[in-house]
């Protein structure tokens, strides 16, 4: 106490005062950085430790796509054949080319085929983009099926991954729906007969068959309302549901410990 009073009389700072100043400066700089640090609007403060880093990765869908650590077998092309990644890449390609096609397509019975013909003959790169969209759709069906076959062959559907296997089956169904709903949009003879066969099959659904067929056709017969409804299913409803299940699928892959190892 005597030493502290002597230092105060001489205008010098005591050790406790110096420590408190250092703490105040540290807290002030941390507060300043938390306010003006780039990206601080989106980041939450947390103690930087390996445990908390793992929690951040585990609780974020986007971070799951690029985990900090990956098992050695998961990066071998010979094990996964990149079938899951190829399926997702084709889905992105279909989205981009589909948006391009939407600029030149009108979902009406009077204009649909003419728009497709104009797209192929008069629009710059129109034929190329349409063929990219068509072949990417075929390839996506193939890669998704082969991806599920690979998962089944490697036994990756077993616990604790059985839930993600169900999600994969749903994604395969949605992929087939995307392909089938897009098949009608050119509104040619193949499209008309395809929707005729498809809706007739739906009509044999127990209890609700007639109602399901009426909803899909937009009436009792194939017409403009049919084309409009299948167009909305193809460009809006089914892709929206697919994106949701894709996010769940990727999240569960990381949550279950990454890609399953060899048998």
Task: Give the pLDDT band of residue 67 (cuts 50, 70, 90).
Answer: low
Residue 123 lies in a domain: yes
Task: Give the pLDDT band of residue 32 (cuts 50, 70, 90).
Answer: very low
Residue 67 lies in a domain: no
11: left (phi over 0), alpha (psi -120 to 50) or beta: left
Residues 189-204 have a mean pLDDT of: 92
Residue 4 lies in a domain: no
Mean of pLDDT over the chain: 84
Residues 13-22 have a mean pLDDT of: 60
Q: Return the number of other C-beta atoms located less than 10 Å from residue 232's C-beta.
A: 13
- The reported pLDDT for the residue numbered 20 is 62
Q: Say yes or no to pLDDT of 30 above 90.
A: no
Q: Higher-confidence residue: 102 or 66?
A: 102
Q: Return the number of other C-beta atoms located less than 10 Å from residue 255's C-beta.
A: 16
Residue 33 lies in a domain: no
- The reported pLDDT for the residue numbered 71 is 79
Residue 161 lies in a domain: yes
Residue 203 lies in a domain: yes
- The reported pLDDT for the residue numbered 255 is 85
Using CA atoms in the order 217, 221, 224, 225, what is the torsion angle rounded to 10 degrees?
A: -40
Residues 215-229 have a mean pLDDT of: 91
Residue 127's domain spans which residues?
73-255
- The reported pLDDT for the residue numbered 88 is 96
Q: Where are the alpha helices (DSSP H) in 11-125?
A: 15-36, 50-58, 61-65, 77-80, 83-102, 112-121
For the domain that residue 203 is a member of, what is the CATH number?
1.20.810.10
Task: Give the pLDDT band of residue 256 (cuts 50, 70, 90).
Answer: confident
- The reported pLDDT for the residue numbered 12 is 58
What digits encode the pLDDT tens for the residues 110-146?
999 999 999 999 999 999 999 999 999 999 999 999 9
Q: Say yes or no to pLDDT of 229 above 80.
A: yes
Q: Say yes or no to pLDDT of 36 above 50.
A: no
Give the total number of structural domains in the chain. 1
Whole-model pTM over 0.85: no
- In the chain, how long is the greatest CA-to-CA distance? 103
Residue 262 lies in a domain: no
Residue 238 lies in a domain: yes
Task: Give the pLDDT band of residue 44 (cuts 50, 70, 90).
Answer: low
- The reported pLDDT for the residue numbered 78 is 86
182-198: burial string, b at 16+ Cβ within 10 Å, e else: bbbbbbeeebeeebeeb
């Amino acid at each position: 106490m005597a030493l502290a009073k002597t230092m105060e009389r001489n205008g010098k700072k005591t050790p406790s005062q110096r420590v408190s100043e250092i703490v105040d400066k540290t807290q002030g700089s941390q507060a300043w950085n938390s306010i003006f640090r780039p990206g601080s609007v989106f980041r939450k403060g947390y103690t930087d430790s390996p445990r908390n880093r793992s929690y951040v990765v585990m609780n974020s869908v986007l971070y799951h796509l690029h985990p900090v650590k990956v098992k050695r077998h998961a990066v071998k092309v010979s094990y996964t054949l990149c079938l899951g990644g190829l399926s997702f890449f084709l889905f992105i390609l279909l989205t981009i080319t589909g948006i391009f096609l939407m600029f030149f397509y009108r979902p009406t019975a009077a204009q649909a085929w003419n728009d497709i013909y104009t797209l192929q003959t008069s629009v710059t790169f129109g034929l190329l983009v349409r063929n990219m969209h068509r072949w990417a759709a075929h390839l996506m069906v193939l890669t998704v099926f082969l991806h599920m076959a690979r998962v089944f062959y490697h036994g990756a559907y077993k616990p604790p991954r059985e839930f993600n296997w169900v999600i994969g089956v749903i994604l395969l169904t949605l992929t087939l729906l995307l392909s089938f709903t897009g098949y009608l949009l050119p509104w040619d003879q193949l499209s008309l007969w395809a929707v005729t066969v498809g809706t007739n099959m739906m009509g044999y659904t127990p209890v609700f068959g007639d109602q399901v067929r009426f909803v899909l056709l937009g009436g009792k017969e194939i017409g403009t309302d049919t084309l409009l409804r299948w167009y909305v299913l193809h460009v809006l409803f089914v892709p929206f549901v697919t994106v949701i299940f894709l996010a769940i699928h990727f999240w569960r892959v990381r949550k279950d410990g990454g890609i399953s190892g060899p048998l």
